[in-house]
Amino acid sequence: MFSKRKVMTPRSGSRNLNSLMMTLAAFVFLLSAIARVSAQDQPQVPPQNPPQDNDSGTGKPKQDAPSEAGGPTGDIGPYAIPKKNTETPPPPPPPSSPTKVEGLPDYSIKVNVPLVNVDVLVTTKNGQFVPGLKRDNFRLFEDGSQQEIANFNVSQAPITAVLLVEFASTNYVFMVQALQASYAFANSLKKDDWVAVTYYDMQPHILVDFTQDKKAVYGALNQLRIPGFAETNLFDALYDTLDRLDRVEGKKYVVLVTTGIDTFSKLTLDKIMKKVKDTKDVTIFPISVGFIVREYCETHPGGCRNAHGMGIPVGNMDYLQGDNEMRTFAAMTGGRAYFPRFEGELPELFRDISDDIRHQYSLSYHPTNSKLDGTYRKLKVQVVAPDGAQLKVKDQKGKEQKIEVVARDGYTAKHTVD
């Protein structure tokens, strides 16, 4: 028995070939479409020399406005002027220091020229101030060598003074006269003066610090009514006062109201003398009190042993020694010591002190001996006529008057340690 098979005819084979060709054509068309889309997505590169836009009015190339220009813009550019650069230029570089040469040591030059101030009081023998003197009228000597005066003026400034009063349980006459002298000094003060009040017995006591109020000065003196100790330690009190004045600038004065007796000080006379020598810009005006008691002691030697206080024997020689010490303190600092006999002399006496303080000739010089060795240098001031002859001063009646020149005896030079 035989089986049945399907035989393909030639007509059916040509139909399959045509469909294959159509498929290939469609695939080629699709690839070309994809290539065209990719080319459109790529960025276009501008030409190297693009054409420039010309200004319609001038024919010149049109320029773009700078980015910092401000204001509105138009067809031809911005209307506002471009902003200026407000930034400050950088500072110039610091000067270069000189280069150090190796092996060469460093040197520094320091010049220390001392200046010495000397206050000079020129009065007649009657105590009247001699005005109108010039620089050429003064001759200044240090240790015998004449010095050149660098600065010269007449000081009339307000005073800065310490009223140092002896107030102890010694003698009623001493206390009363000390208060009378203190009140007389307070009455001579002016409104611009600075005054401090201190009293001493065994030790110094500050009643009021520097003030320009007269009422405060009177109030301080009103506290001196009941004395305390009988000791009068003059050297300790004066040393403490000078030590405190070292911290006060300018010219200072110490008005010392005292009997001149030192009974129980820890310091000796040599030490207080050295302190006075080393102190600068301080003038001491001692005022002695107790003349009546001293007169009584001269006529009654046996009844004067306890005149200065209970259990403190003081004789006339002790008072004379005290007077000599006060004169020395005044001479060393350019002041004057006063020894009034009666109460009525006190107002005139303090007027003289006030005139002495307010009318002084101030001299300053650079010493020829510039060594800073801490030695004491002696000073001497002479007042002469401009031609070097003797200066003649006449009073209102035309009578010649002798003059007195008061200045400090010397000063202590600074001392530096090598």
Residue 189 lies in a domain: yes
User: Which of 72-81, 121-130, 280-289 is predicted with the least confidence, judged by mean pLDDT?
Assistant: 72-81
User: Which of 137-141, 230-234, 357-361 is predicted with the least confidence, judged by mean pLDDT?
Assistant: 357-361
130 backbone dihedrals φ, ψ, rounded to 5°: -100, 105
Instruction: Give the mean pLDDT of the chain.
Output: 79
**One domain for residues 146 and 168:** no
**One domain for residues 135 and 207:** no
| CA triple 17-23-24, angle to 5 deg | 95
**One domain for residues 164 and 136:** no
State the total domains in the chain: 2
Residue position matching structure tokens 């006269």: 177
Residue 167 lies in a domain: yes
Name every residue whose Cβ is closer than 8 Å to that of residue 376 and which is 6 or more positions away in sequence.
277, 410, 411, 412, 413
**One domain for residues 182 and 222:** yes
C-alpha distances out from residue 8 to 12, 18, 309, 413, Å: 7, 17, 171, 148
- In percent, the amount of the chain with pLDDT more than 90 equals 28
Alpha carbon of residue 275 to chain centroid: 24
Host domain of residue 404 = 116-155+361-412
Structure tokens given for 372: 């800073």
**One domain for residues 350 and 379:** no
Q: What is the pLDDT of residues 159-217, one digit of tens each?
A: 899 999 999 888 788 888 899 999 999 998 888 899 999 999 999 999 999 999 999 99
Q: What is the pLDDT of residues 286-335, one digit of tens each?
A: 999 888 877 777 777 666 666 666 666 677 788 889 999 999 999 999 88
Name every residue whose Cβ is closer than 8 Å to that of residue 316 and which is 6 or more positions away in sequence.
294, 297, 298, 301, 304
C-alpha distances out from residue 114 to 111, 117, 201, 371, Å: 10, 10, 39, 9
**One domain for residues 395 and 303:** no
Q: What's the pTM?
A: 0.65
- Specify the pLDDT at position 9: 46
Residue 51 lies in a domain: no
**One domain for residues 263 and 349:** yes
Q: Beta partners for 401?
A: 393
**One domain for residues 132 and 187:** no
271 backbone dihedrals φ, ψ, rounded to 5°: -70, -40
Q: Which domain-ending residue is among 357, 382, 403?
A: 357
Residue 147 has pLDDT above 80, yes or no: yes
Residue 197 lies in a domain: yes
Residue 264 lies in a domain: yes
**CA 393 – CA 94 distance, rounded (Å):** 65
CATH number, domain with residue 187: 3.40.50.410
Residue 369 lies in a domain: yes
Pairing of strands 149-155, 360-365: antiparallel
Q: Which domain-ending residue is among 313, 331, 357?
A: 357
**One domain for residues 349 and 249:** yes
Contact 189, 210 (CB under 8 A): no
**One domain for residues 331 and 314:** yes
Residue 91 lies in a domain: no
Residue 4 has pLDDT above 50, yes or no: no
**One domain for residues 301 and 340:** yes
Residue 57 lies in a domain: no
Q: Which domain-ending residue is among 357, 380, 395?
A: 357
Q: What is the pLDDT of residues 100-119, one digit of tens each?
A: 666 666 655 555 668 888 88
Pairing of strands 73-74, 77-78: antiparallel
**One domain for residues 252 and 320:** yes
C-alpha distances out from residue 324 to 262, 269, 288, 337, 378, Å: 13, 12, 11, 10, 20
Q: Report DSSP letters for 322-341, one per residue.
A: HHHHHHHHHHHHT---B---
